Structure 1
């Protein structure tokens, strides 16, 4: 089995601005590649360029091949033909009025006409449209039913991107060792935590980052963290009824599990990953013996946007985009933490990131976590975007070594200590599915949620700060600053120094 068949699906989480090479095969889109041939092409791109796979850089044949292998589901990003700098202006547009509505209506009418002309049949709404529009972002989710339609629309000036939205390298969905879990630890090592009043467990990983010392001046008060992930378990009371007096907790669900229904399945975790990440960032300080989060007085917006850690299905890309819009519009949210991603770029998710970023949110994203034999790959999407803050995990000690399942690379901004060098099974502790006994979690997922908590501690020292001011304070308090590593960014953020 080719390695790419596992790679994109084993990644537990996250296009550069440089010029990209065109991913070509032949000019004719009518003869689709087999799944194995397409997977081989993707793997070759990843290995030779060390960049995420962007469908915009692929030939019509490559894109059509992916469409034929994924029910022809596509996403079309549009704009008026003369519109410029959309990534910087996407939060200002009104898609239901003016030239935006005119452009949208013309594209829909032409898509219908082209499909009928080339297939010989008029498509029904059910055949042509995959999902309703959100009324905020200029995106259409459609089915491309003929290769000629693909070729024609990819070259229209109003079309920003037209890409497969539901392609995965393999039918079976794999999860990595830092993906779905949430079980309490069977044997919690006493050296992996210490207890503070009134009886909470503090992870051993907090000390190397100066978090306990930072708590003397900041606990994250009046700062909102949004965790976009697999949701939170309702039976974990520390993320429910006992979250803490005076704190705001909002649990939402935007993930739509069924292709035939627009209904979501609610905010409840069915994977465990989202619960773990929320626990690291913002679990309360209690006397129950459970683990405490980094920003234990911050507000929390926990959104179920994916079924697991990989943003590979169209419904997961849609969910992440919808969650980013919610976070972007929420005045009480300053920080967004995303311990999810893929090796494939997504225009849908990009637009969501642009939107939330332009509304002043600090978006932290995991650089990537995989099994050790696939961690040769660099930073994944959306951590590879300039608009996100990419985080990965490292082992204790020097020189820096990435944790054994973590990715690193030039896009990494910060690292967090996540693993004992002498024992790679000893990672950070966090909330488990229920009760007070913590579980273990590691990888760049955990590093990202931990760093999101540190950002909240820094922001809470002066809630009127801008994202750029907070980020600069984090950089200045990092272990490698003013230098920057080609693999580990500015290094470990010292929360004690950053909050002074």
Structure 2
């Protein structure tokens, strides 16, 4: 039935294309010119070298700035699916409207129709376009203004670029070879497990304080003013959305024991937007953490003030909505970009979600995910994103995406002590907004959190834990001032940070101070 439904849906939209009026048609590229271009696919290693060069020179790689031949070659080296961001013709502020205007609006629908019509007209006569279903029944995503379509002809790209209805063109499934980053820093190691490690650990008693009823408060909570903030706020009534690798069903404190000890009257919910499979057959892979990173981040944000000797979260009375949008912390595959974008829409639609925490990212931007960020931001969400953690490009690479976006709050980690020294694996740069103390100077010990299983804590490091800590502090501030807007909460966090009103070129406004922020 599902296959039949997809086929009927496909025929329906093709019918719309053929029946649509033909005004404002774009000039077509000839078939002979297309074949000449298609004979010269740029090798994948050359594409990766161009990406690496751009990262070194500009700190980013933007597909929209690349030639048709480069984008088309990337399509041919991946799943040949092109993501097309669209907008009403003549729109100059489409990005700022994402999430506020529905794509079902006739102006947006007309733009999508024109884009699809052009794709159909440009494809060679013996190669009908094969559309990827971006939702259950439509070639057009149901909430975000993009279309995804199988492309075989380079002329499609050339003609689409001439349309006022097109915002961007990107290959959906192309994956950069991260091993090349080692060549940029020969003495470094590439973090191949992508943050997937979260087993219980033996932790020195000097690295935590036991608080009632028997929870372990991480050593860095005192540095961040968190313990002194709790008499004023515990995050009660505030819902934090977490986009990461999911929650482990084997960690009781993030499941049945979420309300235990001194934590009560709150909820935890789990969703999964990450899918596996290919464009013609995909399925959701569930909300359960198969990596460990998401469980660790959830523990830092909202683990209960428990009686079993496990770690306590920063906002231990807040609500939590976990969305498994990715399989690890590097959002580089097509399915992961789909999952994260869908997660942002899911959380953006929920009026109860105030804060979104994203300790994930990639070394260069992706427009589909950026559309998801704007969707959530334009609906009032306060979005925290990790500045970046690695062992392969820390020494030369700055803040990663989506922390580079103006709609997100970029957070990185620093070592304890006077002055500012970033953690051994943390990124820094002009895009950073705040820092969190999360690494001991002498031992490099990281903060406590919940492990995948067991009542014995684990530790977690990098800008990931800094981001989840900042998200928890924001929940404390919002819990103290439930009537405030996102901008008021963020301004209070700035004003009470260590370096305010100055802003460092590497560390933003510096260390957050939870106690000062809730007073």
Out of 298-307 and 320-329, give the one that drifted further. Answer: 320-329
> Match for residue 170 of structure 1?
177
Separation of aligned partners in 2, 1:354 and 1:430:
30
Asked whether 1:147 is paired with 2:154, we answer yes
The structure showing larger relative contact order (alpha-carbon pairs under 8 Å, at least 6 residues apart) is 1
Asked whether 1:458 is paired with 2:474, we answer no
Separation of aligned partners in 1, 2:394 and 2:517:
34
1:164-212 CA deviation, whole Å, 9 max, x = no partner?
Answer: 1211123999755661112111x21221111100000111111110000
Separation of aligned partners in 2, 1:301 and 1:398:
36
Separation of aligned partners in 1, 2:89 and 2:169:
15
Out of 162-171 and 202-211, give the one that drifted further. Answer: 162-171
> Match for residue 67 of structure 1?
75
> Match for residue 453 of structure 2?
434
Asked whether 1:182 is paired with 2:188, we answer no
Asked whether 1:158 is paired with 2:165, we answer yes
Pairing of 1:96-107 with structure 2 (within 5 A): 96-107=104-115
> Match for residue 240 of structure 1?
255
> Match for residue 45 of structure 1?
54
Pairing of 1:7-406 with structure 2 (within 5 A): 31-49=40-58, 51-117=59-125, 120-123=126-129, 127-129=130-132, 131-132=134-135, 133-170=140-177, 175-176=191-192, 179-185=195-201, 187-244=202-259, 245-259=264-278, 260-371=280-391, 374-406=394-426
1:340-382 CA deviation, whole Å, 9 max, x = no partner?
Answer: 1001211111111111101110000000001055442000100
Give the secondary structure class of the aligned counterpart of 1:131.
coil
Out of 251-260 and 232-241, give the one that drifted further. Answer: 251-260
Give the secondary structure class of the aligned counterpart of 1:225.
strand
Separation of aligned partners in 1, 2:476 and 2:41:
52
Separation of aligned partners in 2, 1:206 and 1:222:
21
Alpha-carbon distance change, 165 to 344 in structure 1, aligned in 2, over 3 angstroms: farther
1:28 Cα offset (Å): 6.2
Separation of aligned partners in 1, 2:458 and 2:281:
35
Separation of aligned partners in 1, 2:156 and 2:257:
54
Is this contact kept in 2: 1:334–1:360, CA < 8 A?
A: yes
Separation of aligned partners in 1, 2:178 and 2:393:
21
Is this contact kept in 2: 1:286–1:292, CA < 8 A?
A: yes
Alpha-carbon distance change, 374 to 210 in structure 1, aligned in 2, over 3 angstroms: closer
Separation of aligned partners in 2, 1:172 and 1:45:
16
Give the secondary structure class of the aligned counterpart of 1:209.
coil
2:501 pairs, out of 478, 482, 493, with: 482
Separation of aligned partners in 1, 2:257 and 2:74:
46
How many residue pairs match? The answer is 466
> Match for residue 467 of structure 2?
448
Out of 158-167 and 443-452, give the one that drifted further. Answer: 158-167
Is this contact kept in 2: 1:28–1:60, CA < 8 A?
A: no
Name stretches of at least 5 consecutive residues in structure 2 with no aligned partner.
Answer: 1-35, 181-189
Separation of aligned partners in 2, 1:72 and 1:348:
16
Separation of aligned partners in 1, 2:43 and 2:500:
48
Alpha-carbon distance change, 268 to 111 in structure 1, aligned in 2, over 3 angstroms: same
Q: Quick check: which has more Rg, 1 or 2?
A: 2
Q: Aligned Cα RMSD in Å? A: 1.8
Alpha-carbon distance change, 418 to 296 in structure 1, aligned in 2, over 3 angstroms: same
1:316-344 CA deviation, whole Å, 9 max, x = no partner?
Answer: 11111111111111111100000010012
TM-score normalised by structure 2 residue count: 0.87
Name stretches of at least 5 consecutive residues in structure 1 with no aligned partner.
Answer: 1-26
Give the secondary structure class of the aligned counterpart of 2:353.
coil
Separation of aligned partners in 2, 1:171 and 1:225:
31
1:128 Cα offset (Å): 3.0
Separation of aligned partners in 2, 1:457 and 1:416:
15
- Point out 4+ residue stretches in structure 1 off by more than 6 angstroms: 171-174
TM-score normalised by structure 1 residue count: 0.90
1:52 Cα offset (Å): 1.8
1:261 Cα offset (Å): 2.9
